Structure 1
C-alpha cells in the first residue's frame, strides 16, 4: 500500500518532511517515515499551479490573430494544459499519484490550494473513486502543528467543493480576459488608439473606481465658509474651543448676524467657564489581524503595498514564525490562546520595554472558536525567534512580525484607561466647547504604555483644567476663521485657505 502526500510547492514539502523522523530526497519527491504515517509514504509537490487553462489558440488556430469576427469565445469544454517548464515535475507527480492507494491533499488550506491539487489530479486522470483521498488542514508549518494535522486528517468532500468554487472563478476570469482584452483593444485601435489593453474581472472595475475618484478630485470645487473659534487661556493653559453646537456660515455677513443675535462681539468682552465635565473611559486593544486588516495596518504604518505585505507574511509562515496568512478571521480558539499564554514570557522578551500582561483568561473579543472556520487570525506560532534571528530578517518581515507580536500581546493587557474632559465656555449667549482625551493609566497599568503605539491614536495632551474654573469670569476677544472645504483625499491639491486676522484670546480676569 502506497500513500502519496501532495504538497503545493517545494518549500511546503520541505517543511513537511523536516517534521518527520526519516526522509530521503529523490528526484521530484521524498520518501519519509514517521509513526504518524503509514508505511511506504512519499511526499511530492507541485510548482504552484502545475495546470492552467489553455489559451484560445489551443482550441482553434484562427484565434492566433485577434479579430472581432472571432468574438465572443465560449468553449464547449475547457482545456487545461501543463506549461513546458513544468512538464517534468508534472510527470513525477502523475506517476506517483497513479501508483498511490491513498492520496493526502496537503496543499495550502484554502480554495486556491484545493484548486491546485484537484487540477493536478484531474489532468493526471486520477480516478478518485478508486483511491482513498484525505485532506490535511493546517494553520501553521511548525513541527507540532504538522504532526497534529497528519494525526487528524479530514474528509475530501469539502475540499472538492472549494476546488469547484476556485475553478469557477478561474474560468470566469478566463472568459472576461480572453474576450474583453481583444474586444477593447481592437475597438480602441479602430479609433486610433494604439497598444494592448488588458481587461480583468478585478483589475478593470478597480481601475474604474480609481478613475472615478480621480475625476471627482479633478472636478471638485471648494466652497468658502466661516466658523467661530476661540483661543482660551486658563490656568496658564491655552486651548481652542469651537461654537457649540458647531455651525458653519456661508459668508461673513451671516456670521456677523449670528454674533449680533448672540451678543458676541469681535472686541473685548466678558465671558466665563460655564461647565467642566469629566468622564472616565476605557478602550480595549484592537481585534487580532486577518490578512486584510494586517495589510491595511502595514500600508498605514509603513506604506507597504498589499502584495508586499502578503509576500512578507508568506515568508514568515514558511519560516514557521507566523500562522497561515490567507485568513479573513480575526479570532483564535482556546487551543491557540493556551499556547500563547504558555509562551508569553518568551514573546515579551522580544519587546523592548517591560510590559505588565495580566489578562490570561480568554476574552470573546479575541477567543471565539464558533467564529473560526478554516483558519484563525494571524498570530505568532510556538516557534519564538531570538532577537538575532529577527534582526537577520528583511526589514519588511521584521515590521510585519513586530506588528503582529504587539497586537497579539495587547490582547493580554488591561484596557487603555483615560479621562475625557469637556469644557463649556460662555460668551454672551453663545457657548464654546472643547474636549480633551487625557491619558490616566492607573499605576497597575502604567507599563502597558509599551504597547500603546500600536493601537492608540488621536489621544490629545491633557489640559489641567479643574472644576474650580466653573463660573470663572474671563476676558474675551473673538476670532473669525474663513476656510475652504478642501478635498482632503487629494494628493498635492493646492487651495489657498482664506484666513482672517482677528485674534481671539480668553484671559482670566
Structure 2
C-alpha cells in the first residue's frame, strides 16, 4: 500500500524521495515515486501560537490590568509564509491511509509534524497507524537503512507532549512578563521593549552579575611558599600546604593572605631535614574526547575561530542539508550506536577527500580501535555529530572550519589514549607538609591530532620529582616566597557563556537545586542556545566588546527590576528537568501547566500592586528606530514568545 511521508523540511523530503523507487514525478510541494509512495514536507513550523488578540480583541492594546493572559483553549494558526504548503499537506493526508512522520529526531521535530495532524483534524484511526521515520544522516545508504526501521509514532507521543508543554509555557511566561515589564518601562519613560523569557533572562542575569563582580573586584595580595630541596645537582621545589591552624589567615580558596606567616614558615624550614613521607610514581592514560554534540562544537569553534554560536549552527545546517557531509547537527548526544562502527572506513575515506589539513591524521588512524564513544545505551533519538561517507570539495571558509573540527574529533576515536608519567613526593619539614609533583607526556596518542602549539622547554620529570623512597631524608636549603595578587573573573565570551549555559548547575542559587540539576541539559537546548544569544544582542540587552560579552545599561536595569527568581537559572533549569521527565512519562502535563499558571498570576499581582521599579527609571533610549514604532503596540511575536 502506498505511503505518505511528511518530512520536516524540503531537503529531508528530497533525501527520502531519493531512496524510493524511480522514476519520480515532481509536483508542487510533493514528490511521487514509481510505487505510489509520496513525499511531502513542512517548511519548519507550518503553524505558530496565536497572538493574544486571537483570544480577545482587547489584547491588541497592552494593558497591565489585562494580565495575566491565560488561554482556556489554545489556538494555533498557519504561518503566512507556509499556508500554501499546509494546504498541500492537508490534502495529501486525507488521500493516504498509511502516513509516515519524518520530522527531525528531537523533541521539536516530533511536535512540528504532530501538531499538523491535530490541526487538520486527522481521524484518530489514522493517527494510531502513523509510523515514525528517524533520520540523522541524509546520505542515501543511511536513509535506506532508516526506511527499513520504521517505528510506531505512538511511542513518541510523550516527546511531543513535552515539546507542547515547553511551547505553551514559553508563551505564557514570555508574553505576560514581556508585556508587564515593557509597560512598566514605558511608564518610566523607556521607549523600547523589555523582553523577558525563561531562558534569555537568566542568561542575561549571568552576564550582569559577572560584569558587576568584575567592576567591584578588589585585588588582594596572597603568598605561596616553596621549599627548595637540593638533590644530585638539581633542586626539588615542594609547595607548602597550610595546615588547619592557618585558616584564620586564609581566604575561602585557601590562599594565605599574611606575608609574616609565610616568612615565619620560610625561616623555620631553612636548613631543616626534609623527610619523604609519601612517594608515588605512576603511568596514566587519557582517552580521546567524545565526538561532538552541538554545544560542544559551538564552544570549540568559538575558542578556536572566534565563531558565534549562530554561525556555527548555520554552517552545520548547510553541511547537513546542502552538502550531506555531516550527520544531524542539532544533537545533544556525544555517543554513537555500535552499528555505526562498521561505516568507519567509508567515513574516514570521505574525510581524506574533503579536508586536506587532516591527511596526516587519516593516515595515522587505526580503524581497528574502538573508543568508548560507541555505546548504544547512551544514544537516544540521535547520535553525536560526525562526518558522513560523502566527500565534498566546495566548502565555504566557515563550513570548512566547522567540518575540520567535526572530522578531527571523529578521527580521534581511532587513536590510542595519550599516556603520561606522573610523580609526587610529600615532604615533612619542621612539622609542615610540602608537595612536589610533576607530569610528563610519554606518548601523544590522540593528542597528535590537536593543532600544534609552541611548547616551552620541558624539564625531565626525574629532575624535578626524583624517584625517592619513602623515609628518605634530604635537607631543605631555603624557602622561596612568591608574591601573588588575586585576579577578577574574566568577562564572558561566546565560548564561556555557552559553557555556562550547558553547565548551569554551577550558577544555581538554591543549594538543593544544585544537586538536582547537575545532570540536566542546562539552560535552553542544543537547538535554541544560539538563537537565545542572538536575540539578546538584537534586543540590545547584551553587547559585544571584542571577544567579550557584556550587559548593556538596559540589560542591567531589566535584571534589577525583575523578581530575583526570574533572573537566576534555578527556575528554567527546573523546567527543563520536568520537561525531560514528561518525555519519559514521569511528569504529567496538566500538573506542570497548573503550577506555572499559578506562579505567573502571583507575579502579575505583585507587578500591579507595587510602584514602578527604580531600576527602570532613566534607562537609555538607544532602541533602533524600526523598533520604536512597535513599543506601544508591541504585538510582534518575536517580542513575546521567545524563551
Q: How far 1:448 sits from its partner (Å)?
A: 5.5
| Greater helix share, structure number | 2
The one of 296, 299, 312 equivalent to 1:296 is 299
- Counterparts in 2 of 1:469 and 1:170: CA distance versus 1, 3 Å: closer
- 1:232-243 equivalences under 5 Å are 242-243=239-240
Q: Is the 8 A contact 1:356 1:448 kept in 2?
A: no
The one of 73, 79, 101 equivalent to 1:77 is 73
Partners in 1 of 2:165 and 2:454 — Cα distance? 43
Tell me which residue corresponds to 2:150.
Answer: 153
Tell me which residue corresponds to 1:121.
Answer: 117
The one of 332, 336, 340 equivalent to 1:336 is 340
Tell me which residue corresponds to 2:30.
Answer: 29
Task: Confirm or deny that 1:257 pairs with 2:264.
Answer: yes
- Counterparts in 2 of 1:249 and 1:166: CA distance versus 1, 3 Å: closer
Task: Confirm or deny that 1:8 pairs with 2:4.
Answer: no
Tell me which residue corresponds to 2:382.
Answer: 375
Task: Confirm or deny that 1:42 pairs with 2:45.
Answer: no
What secondary structure, in the 3-state scheme, does the structure 2 residue paired with 1:213 have?
Answer: helix
Partners in 1 of 2:242 and 2:400 — Cα distance? 47
- 1:174-185 equivalences under 5 Å are 174-185=171-182
Task: Confirm or deny that 1:408 pairs with 2:410.
Answer: yes
Q: How far 1:460 sits from its partner (Å)?
A: 8.4
Per-residue CA deviation, residues 382-441 of structure 1 (Å, 9 max, x unaligned), is: 22x15xx1xx31233222222222222222212111222446789888776443322222
- 1:251-330 equivalences under 5 Å are 251-260=258-267, 262-264=268-270, 278-318=281-321, 319-330=323-334
Partners in 1 of 2:231 and 2:24 — Cα distance? 76
Q: How far 1:313 sits from its partner (Å)?
A: 2.1
What secondary structure, in the 3-state scheme, does the structure 2 residue paired with 1:88 have?
Answer: helix
Q: How far 1:370 sits from its partner (Å)?
A: 2.1
Partners in 1 of 2:124 and 2:325 — Cα distance? 35
Partners in 1 of 2:57 and 2:318 — Cα distance? 42
What secondary structure, in the 3-state scheme, does the structure 1 residue paired with 2:406 have?
Answer: helix
- 1:418-429 equivalences under 5 Å are 418-422=420-424
Partners in 2 of 1:115 and 1:68 — Cα distance? 32
Tell me which residue corresponds to 2:135.
Answer: 138
Tell me which residue corresponds to 1:437.
Answer: 439
Tell me which residue corresponds to 1:506.
Answer: none
- Counterparts in 2 of 1:78 and 1:476: CA distance versus 1, 3 Å: same
- 1:343-358 equivalences under 5 Å are 343-344=347-348, 347=351, 350=355, 351-353=358-360, 355-358=363-366
Q: How far 1:184 sits from its partner (Å)?
A: 0.9
Q: For CA contacts below 8 A with separation 6 or more, give which structure has more relative contact order.
A: 2
Q: Is the 8 A contact 2:417 2:446 kept in 1?
A: no
Partners in 1 of 2:477 and 2:255 — Cα distance? 21
Per-residue CA deviation, residues 238-269 of structure 1 (Å, 9 max, x unaligned), is: 99653356974322222222223x243xxxx7
Q: Is the 8 A contact 2:136 2:328 kept in 1?
A: yes
Partners in 2 of 1:457 and 1:158 — Cα distance? 53
- Counterparts in 2 of 1:67 and 1:486: CA distance versus 1, 3 Å: same
Q: How far 1:366 sits from its partner (Å)?
A: 1.6
Partners in 2 of 1:8 and 1:51 — Cα distance? 12
Unaligned runs of 5+ in 2: 244-253, 493-544, 549-643
Partners in 2 of 1:312 and 1:272 — Cα distance? 59
Q: Is the 8 A contact 2:17 2:39 kept in 1?
A: yes
Partners in 1 of 2:97 and 2:106 — Cα distance? 24
What secondary structure, in the 3-state scheme, does the structure 2 residue paired with 1:418 have?
Answer: strand
Per-residue CA deviation, residues 341-394 of structure 1 (Å, 9 max, x unaligned), is: 46545545652325533462544x2222122222122222222x15xx1xx312
What secondary structure, in the 3-state scheme, does the structure 1 residue paired with 2:217 have?
Answer: coil
- Counterparts in 2 of 1:263 and 1:96: CA distance versus 1, 3 Å: closer
Partners in 1 of 2:203 and 2:477 — Cα distance? 53
Q: How far 1:140 sits from its partner (Å)?
A: 0.9
Tell me which residue corresponds to 1:498.
Answer: none
Task: Confirm or deny that 1:112 pairs with 2:112.
Answer: no
Tell me which residue corresponds to 1:484.
Answer: 485
Q: Is the 8 A contact 2:105 2:381 kept in 1?
A: yes
- Counterparts in 2 of 1:53 and 1:345: CA distance versus 1, 3 Å: closer
Q: How far 1:217 sits from its partner (Å)?
A: 2.6
Unaligned runs of 5+ in 1: 34-38, 494-509
Task: Confirm or deny that 1:91 pairs with 2:92.
Answer: no
TM-score for the superposition, normalised by structure 2: 0.65
TM-score for the superposition, normalised by structure 1: 0.81
Per-residue CA deviation, residues 69-123 of structure 1 (Å, 9 max, x unaligned), is: 2111111111111132222222122111122222111121112112111222222
Per-residue CA deviation, residues 162-188 of structure 1 (Å, 9 max, x unaligned), is: 222211111111111221111111122
Partners in 2 of 1:361 and 1:393 — Cα distance? 30
Tell me which residue corresponds to 1:360.
Answer: 368
